Structure 1
Amino acid sequence: MLKQAAIIALLGISSASFAGGWQLKLGGSVLAPTQDTTTPLGVVKADHEINFTPSVEYFFGDTPFSAELLLATPFNQEVTLNGTKVAKVKHLPPTITAKYNFKNSTRFTPYVGIGATALITWDESGVADKVKNDFGVAGQLGFNYQPADAKNWGVYFDVRYADLSPEVRLNVANNYTFDLDIDPIVYTIGYSYKF
């Protein structure tokens, strides 16, 4: 699904007149899982994590549409079983969204977006000897604000939701396997720069 979304976005960019512009966003995010997973072994949770999450956005000419690719430095997320840390996993959450920007006469621009996300995992440790990559739908809601004295700079805040439930295999109880319901909300605040 992520590959299809990327291809569609690239085709859209190539068919545009390139009269639009680019925006670089440098932000920090809190990844907050919204679900717990109940298993025969007990309750499994993924913890909250804070990270640096830059993104790149392209605006299609004078239209209100844009496409944004969220990047990140690797997340190091802990997993607990009945409140006890049992595993840790590194992962990246690349996310691409097609956005609608509500342009108006003010410097405050709200936006909404929908797209696809991925959970790319590696370097599992603890009793989790395998966490599979996962793919899902992503939604986005936020705003960009450009101060009156700023030509290209602005500040932004957005909230994203990702539908992610990677399969986890524990090297206990005959390699017990289950889907870890994370479905995180990602809160991001930062600076934006148009060029």
Structure 2
Amino acid sequence: MLKKSLLQHSIFLIALGWAVIPTAQAGNWQLKVGGSLLAPTENNGTVAGAQADVSHEFNLTPSVEYFFGDSPFSAELLLAVAPFQHDIRLNGVESATFKHLPPTVTAKYHLKNSTRFTPYVGVGLTVAVPWDEKLTGSNSKLEADVTYGAAGQLGFNFQPADAQNWGVFLDVRYAQVESDVKLDGKDIGTLEVNPLVYTLGYSYRF
């Protein structure tokens, strides 16, 4: 029930972002659409007494950003157009799959200068909402908990000389994602994804 509620909430946030941007004050809102590679760290924890390894995955990730007037501060909400789907290997053997949504909010500081190259840094919170967990070749019930963690962000936006509102951006996020895993209701370990998320895309400011 909690996972379904969080999924519906994420879909609502996507719709709200698309609805509110066209009517917002000019210059305060920015829509970003990019492709993201979610790369879990090397050590993904121990599950059922075995070393876990979570696959790298690619997805399209829109985000909505609000700028606070002429200040260098903004807030950004990262979403995904579809769930990330990962494979889990235990001691090198394909053992399970799961899906998740990664809504992440960061408060950002933009290092303004006289060029069209604007670096930024951010800190915030991520929520990992896993569901559709499946154990390969088994009907046992596999379940991963919804998890909350810290997030960091580092990147830049570049606006070409002939561009008025649009630009290109590149950034990397770190998200603390560690979920307790249960098999038929019994704890079997902790999946430590803790990914780096690399994103490249276009930005358009309204």
2:88 is the alignment partner of 1:75:
no
Query: Partner residue of 1:3?
Result: none
Q: CA–CA distance in 2 between the matches of 1:40 and 1:75?
A: 23
Q: Which residue of 1 aligns with 2:73?
A: 65
**TM-aligned CA deviation for residue 41 of structure 1:** 2.7
Counterpart residue number, 2:159 = 146
Partner of 1:192: 203
Q: Which 4+ residue blocks in structure 1 deviate beyond 3 angstroms?
A: none
Shift of 1:179: 1.0
After TM superposition, the score normalised by the length of structure 2 is 0.81
SS for the counterpart of 1:149 is coil
- Cα distance in structure 2, aligned partners of 1:175 and 1:80: 20
Q: Give SS of 1:180's match.
A: strand
Corresponding residue for residue 142 of structure 2: 129
SS of the aligned residue for 1:105 comes to coil
> How many Å apart are 1:36 and its aligned residue?
2.5
The corresponding residue for 1:53 is 61
Q: How much does 1:185 deviate?
A: 0.5
Equivalent residue letter for 2:127: A
Alignment correspondent of 1:33: 40
Could you tell me which of 172, 182, 185 is aligned with 2:193?
182
The letter for the 2-side match of 1:185 is L
- The equivalent residue for 2:94 is 85
Tell me the CA shift for residue 64 of structure 1: 0.2
Q: How many Å apart are 1:40 and its aligned residue?
A: 6.0
Which residue in the other structure is 2:114 paired with?
A: 105
Asked if 2 retains the 8 angstrom alpha-carbon contact of 1:19 and 1:61, the reply is: no
TM-score, scaled relative to structure 1:
0.85
Q: Which string of whole-angstrom CA distances, capped at 9 and with x for unpartnered residues, describes residues 48-97 of structure 1?
A: 01111110000000000000000012101111101111111110000000
- The alpha-carbon distance between structure 1 residues 70 and 40, as it changes in their structure 2 partners (threshold 3 A), is closer
Aligned length: 177
Instruction: Report if the CA contact (8 A) 2:47-2:191 is conserved.
Output: no
CA apart distance, 1:19: 7.5
Q: Give the RMSD, CA atoms, in angstroms.
A: 1.8
| 8 Å contact kept, 1:20–1:60 | no
Matched, 1:114 2:104: no
Q: What does the per-residue CA deviation read over 1:147-191, in whole Å, with 9 as the maximum and x for residues that have no partner?
A: 0011111000000001111111235xx945211111100000000
> Shift of residue 39 of structure 1?
5.0
The answer to whether residue 30 in structure 2 is matched with residue 23 in structure 1 is yes
Any unmatched runs of 5+ in structure 2? 1-24
CA separation of 1:176 and 1:183: change in aligned 2, threshold 3 A: same
Matched-pair contact (CA < 8 Å) for 2:150–2:175:
yes
Deviation track 1:92-134 (CA, whole Å, cap 9, x = no partner) reads: 0000000000011000000000000010011111156101110
- Unmatched 5+ stretches in structure 1: 1-17
Query: C-alpha distance in 2, partners of 1:39/1:57?
Result: 37
Looking at structure 2, the residues matched to 188 and 90 of structure 1 have their Cα atoms a distance apart, in angstroms, of: 19
